[in-house]
Amino acid sequence: MHKARQSVTRADRDETRPIQGRRSTPLTRNRRIYAALLVPALALAVAACGVTPQTTLEPTTEAARTARDLLMFVFWAMVVTFVLVEGALLYCLIRFRRRSGDGIPAQTHGNTPLEIGWTIAPAILVVVIVVLTVPAIFSNARAASPDALQVRAIGHQWWFEFQYPDIGVVTANELHLPVGRDVEIQLESNDVLHSFWVPSLRGKLDMVPGRDNKFTIKPEVTGTFPGQCAEFCGTAHALMKFYVVVETQAEFTAWAETQRAERVPPASDLARQGEETLTLGGCVACHTIRGTDSAGILGPDLTHIGGRQHIAAGLLENTPENMRAWLSDPQGVKPGNTMVIPELTTEQLDALVAYMQGLK
C-alpha cells in the first residue's frame, strides 16, 4: 500500500520534470517581478490608510502596552535566534563547502556538547517568555475597581449592542467611554461566537453564548478607536465593525444624558412623514425608537441614530447619501445581514433619511 503510493508520486514527479525545466519566458519573468513588487506596494497601501489604525503596535492602555511589550520581546528574541541560526548555517555552507579534489570528509555521528547546547538554549528562552507572560496574564485579568463603569457588550449577527445598566443607556456599534476610569465590559452573545477586539485598547476576548466573559479597560487618551469582531460568525463577519469613542468625563456625561432621552420629535413635515413610514416599512418590527411605536429588538436601537458617526456596524459613514443607500438596498450594501425590508418609494426614502438624520 505504502509502496504503491510512493511509486505514484515518483511517476508524477517525472511527468512534471520537463515542465519545471523549461526556461522562463520574458512574460513569466515580468509577472514574477510584478508579483514581487505587489507585496511591498500592498504593505504601503495598508500602512497608509487609517488615521487611528487598527493596530496592536500603537497601544493606548496599560493592558494593550503589556501585550505589545511581550510581542516585541518575543519578536526580537526571534530575530536574534534567526540571525544566529541562519548565520551559522551560511557560515558552514561556505566554509565547509566541497572543493574540487576533496575526498569524502571525516564521518562523525552526534556531538554531545552541541546537542546539549541547542536543547538548553531554547529551553532557557521559553522559560524567560513564561516568566514574562504569566504576570502579564494576571495583570490583564485584574478585577475592575468598585466604582467602574459597567457595560454589557452583546454580539449579534452582525452588529454590536452596548448597554450601560447603571446609567440606563442602550446603543449600538459606537461605544462611548470616559477617559481615565475603569470600565468593566461584560461580553455576551445573542447567537453565535463573536469576539470583541479593539487592538489599541487591549487584546481580544470571545463573546460566547451563555458564558460570563468580562474584562477591564482603563482608557488613557481620548480619541476614536476602531474595533472589529475577531471570531468568524457567518456571512457578514468581515463587515462587523464598531468604534470606541473615548471622551472626557464631561463629554461622556453629556452624551449619556442625550442617549437616555426619548427620540427628538420630528422637526419638519418630511421628518414627520418619515416617522409614519416606520410602520409601513416594517421598521417597528425590528427597531426600537423610544417615544414612538417602534419597539422591536431584532436590530440596533435607533433612538439616537442621527448622532452616530457610522451606520451598518461601522461600515458606512453616517451621511444622508449613505443612509439612503442603506435603506434602498441593505442586502446590496452588506450582503447577508438580517435587515430585510420592502422596496421603499422615493418619497418614503426622502422622508426616512430626513427623519433618521434628525434623531440626534
Instruction: Write out the residues near ligand HEC by the rule CB under 6 A.
Output: 158-159, 172-173, 236, 281-283, 285-287, 298-300, 302, 305, 308, 311-313, 327, 334, 337-341, 352, 356
End-to-end, the C-alpha distance of the chain in Å comes to 72
Q: Tell me how far, at minimum, the Cβ of 252 lies from ligand HEC, in Å.
A: 19
Q: Of 237 and 308, which has the nearer Cβ to Cu ion?
A: 237
Locate 291 and state its grid cell: 417615544
Spatial distance between the Cα atoms of 20 and 244, rounded to a whole number of angstroms: 53
C-alpha–C-alpha distance, residues 58 and 211, integer Å: 30
> How is residue 205 written as a grid cell?
476576548
Q: Which is nearer to Cu ion, 162 or 252 (CB)?
A: 162
Instruction: Please pick, from the candidates 187, 233, 244, 286, the single residue that binds Cu ion as defined by CB under 5 A.
Output: 233
**Residue appearing with cell numbers 489599541:** 200
> In the complex with Cu ion, which residue's Cβ is closer, 192 or 264?
192
Residue for grid cell 452588506: 334
Query: Pick from ligand HEC, Cu ion, none: which does 312 bind, CB < 5 to 8 A by kind?
Result: ligand HEC
Residue span 162-201 as binding mask against Cu ion, x where in contact by CB under 5 A, dash where not: --------------------------------x-------
For the CB of residue 35, give the shortest distance to Cu ion in the complex, in Å. 31
Nearer to ligand HEC, 155 or 300 (CB): 300
Strand partners, 160: 155
Side chain identity at 355, as an amino acid letter? Y
Least Cβ distance, residue 318 to ligand HEC (angstroms): 8
Q: How far is the CB of 195 from ligand HEC (least distance, A)?
A: 16
Cell of 102: 576533496
CB of 262 vs ligand HEC, minimal distance in Å: 18
Q: Which stretch binds Cu ion (CB under 5 A): 55-63, 67-75, 182-190, 235-243?
A: 235-243
User: Which region, judged by CB under 5 A, interacts with Cu ion, from 31-39, 78-86, 239-247, 263-271?
Assistant: 239-247
Residue from the set 67, 170, 229, 327 that interacts with Cu ion by CB under 5 A:
229
CA distance 224 to 125: 38
275 class by beta-carbon count within 10 Å (0-12 exposed, 13-18 middle, 19+ buried): buried
DSSP state of 56: T
Neighbours of 230 (CB within 10 A): 19
Question: CA nearest 336: which of 189, 158, 161, 159?
Answer: 158
Answer for which of 237, 263, 310, 334 binds Cu ion (CB under 5 A) is: 237
d(CA 306, CA 323): 10
DSSP string for residues in 228-267 = EE-S--STTGGG-EEEEEEE-HHHHHHHHHHHHS-PPPP-
Nearer to ligand HEC, 202 or 334 (CB): 334
Residue 169 vs 240, nearer CB to Cu ion: 240
Residue type, 12: D
Which of the choices ligand HEC, Cu ion, none does residue 229 contact, using the CB cut-off of 5 to 8 A by kind?
Answer: Cu ion
Minimal distance in Å, beta carbon 164 to Cu ion? 23
Which of 238/254 has CB closer to Cu ion?
238
Q: Check: CB of residue 359 under 8 Å from CB of residue 307.
A: yes
Give the shortest CB-84-to-ligand HEC separation in angstroms.
50
Distance CA 224, CA 176 (A): 9
Nearer Cβ to ligand HEC, position 166 or 317? 317
Contact footprint for Cu ion (CB under 5 A): 194, 229, 233, 237, 240
